[in-house]
Amino acid sequence: MAEMWINMGPQHPMTHGLWNLRVKVDGETIVDAEPEVGYLHRGIEKICEGLTYPQIIPIADRLCYGSSLTWSHLYCLTVEDLMDVEVPERAEYIRVMSIEMQRIASHLMWLAAYAGDLGLSVGFTYTMRDREVFVDLLQALTGSRLTYNYPRIGGVAHDLPPDFERDALRAVEYMERRLKEYEDLFEGSKIFMMRNVGIGILRKEDGMNLGVTGPSLRASGVSYDLRKDMPYSVYPEMDFNVAIHKDGDCYARYRVRMDEMWESCRIIRQALRKMPEGRWRIVAPRTAPAETGLGRVEDPRGEAVMYVVGDGSDKPYRLKIRSPIFVTVSAAPKILVGYKLADVVAIMGGLDMCIGENDR
Partner 1 sequence: MNLFEFCYGIIHWLVDLVNNLWYRLGDTLPWYFGDFFTAVGDFAASDGHLTFMTILLECIIIILVALINVLNFLWIFRKLSGRILDFYGPYYVGYRIGGWLQNLADGIKLFVKEIIVPKKADRLGYLLAPIIYVGSSLLILSVIPLSENFGLSTNESGEYVTAGALFALAAFSIAPFAILLAGWSSNNKYTLIGGMRSAAQMMSYEIPLILCAASVFLVAGSFNFVDIVDAQHDIWFLIPLFIGFVVFLICLIAEVEIIPFDLPEAEAELVEGWTTEYGGMKFGLFYMTTAIRSYAGGALATAFFLGGWHGPSFIPDEIWFLIKAYIVYTVFMWLTWSVPRVRIDQMLGVGWRRLLPLAVLNLFIAAVLKSGGWI
Partner 2 sequence: MSEGDERGRAGVVSIEKAPSRIDEDPGLRVLRAIADSFPEAVSGGTQLKPGVLRVHVERADLYSVCRNLKESLGFEHLTMISAVDYEDRFEIVYHITSYEARLLLELITSTPKDDPSVDSISTIWGGANWQEREAFDLMGVVFRSHPKLERILLPKDVLYHPLRKDFKG
Partner 3 sequence: MAERRIPKPLGLVLRPMRRTGKQFVRTLILGKPNTVLYPEQKLDLPQVYRGKHVLDFKKCIGCGNCVTICPNDCMWLEKVEDPELGKIERPGVDLGRCLFCGLCAEICPTVALHMTTEFELANSDRESIKLGPSDIRDDTFGPTFVEERRTRRLPVLDLSRCTGCEKCAGECPEICIAMMPIDRTERKKPEINLAKCNSHGKCAEVCLEKALVMTEVYESYFEMPEPKLILDNCSGCGACARKCPSEAIYMLEMPGTEKTLKNGKKGKPKKRAVFVLEKCVGCGRCYQACRFDAIEMPGVRE
- CB neighbourhood size of 189 (10 A): 13
Distance from chain centroid for Cα 268: 17
CB-wise, 137 or 234, nearer to partner 2?
234
Q: Which of partner 1, partner 2, partner 3, none does 6 bind, CB closer than 5 to 8 A by kind? A: partner 1
Amino acid identity for residue 140 in this structure? A
Instruction: Please tell me whether residue 239 binds partner 2 under the rule CB under 8 A.
Output: no
Count the alpha carbons within 13 Å of 81 in the hemisphere toward its beta carbon: 19
Give min distance, CB of 261 to partner 1, in A. 20
Give min distance, CB of 299 to partner 1, in A. 25
Instruction: Please tell me whether residue 19 binds partner 1 under the rule CB under 8 A.
Output: no
Site for partner 2 in 46-85 (CB under 8 A): 46, 81, 84
Integer Cα distance of 175 and 103 in angstroms: 13
Give min distance, CB of 286 to partner 3, in A. 4
Distances, alpha carbon 238 to alpha carbons 99, 267, 273, 283, in Å: 14, 6, 11, 27
Helical packing angle, 68-83 and 53-61, nearest 10°: 160
Integer Cα distance of 43 and 62 in angstroms: 12
Tell which residue, 291, 322, 318, has the closest CA to residue 80: 291
Q: Which of partner 3, partner 2, partner 1, none does 209 bind, CB closer than 5 to 8 A by kind? A: partner 2
Q: What is the DSSP string of 11-58?
A: S-TTSSSS-EEEEEEETTEEEEEEEE--TT---HHHHHHTS-HHHHHH
Integer Cα distance of 89 and 161 in angstroms: 17
CB-wise, 134 or 192, nearer to partner 3?
192
Q: How many residues bind partner 3 (CB under 8 A)?
A: 55
Q: What is the DSSP string of 181-219?
A: HHHHHHHTSHHHHHHHTTSS---HHHHHHTT--THHHHT
CB-wise, 60 or 115, nearer to partner 1?
115
Q: Which of partner 2, partner 3, partner 1, none does 116 bind, CB closer than 5 to 8 A by kind? A: partner 1
CB-wise, 51 or 341, nearer to partner 2?
51
Tell which residue, 194, 181, 182, 215, has the closest CA to residue 301: 215
Q: Which of partner 1, partner 3, partner 2, none does 100 bind, CB closer than 5 to 8 A by kind? A: none
Q: Which of partner 3, partner 2, partner 1, none does 144 bind, CB closer than 5 to 8 A by kind? A: partner 3
Amino acid identity for residue 313 in this structure? S
Residues binding partner 3 (CB under 8 A): 51-52, 54-59, 61, 122, 126, 129, 139-144, 147, 149, 152, 154-155, 157-159, 161, 181, 183-193, 241-244, 255, 259, 262, 281-287, 313-314
Residues binding partner 1 (CB under 8 A): 1, 4, 6, 8, 12-14, 28, 115-126, 129, 185, 189, 191-192, 194-195, 340-345, 349
Residues binding partner 2 (CB under 8 A): 37-38, 41, 43, 45-46, 81, 84, 86, 206, 208-213, 222-224, 229-231, 234, 236, 294, 296, 303, 305, 307, 309, 317-318, 320, 322, 326-327, 329-331, 359-360
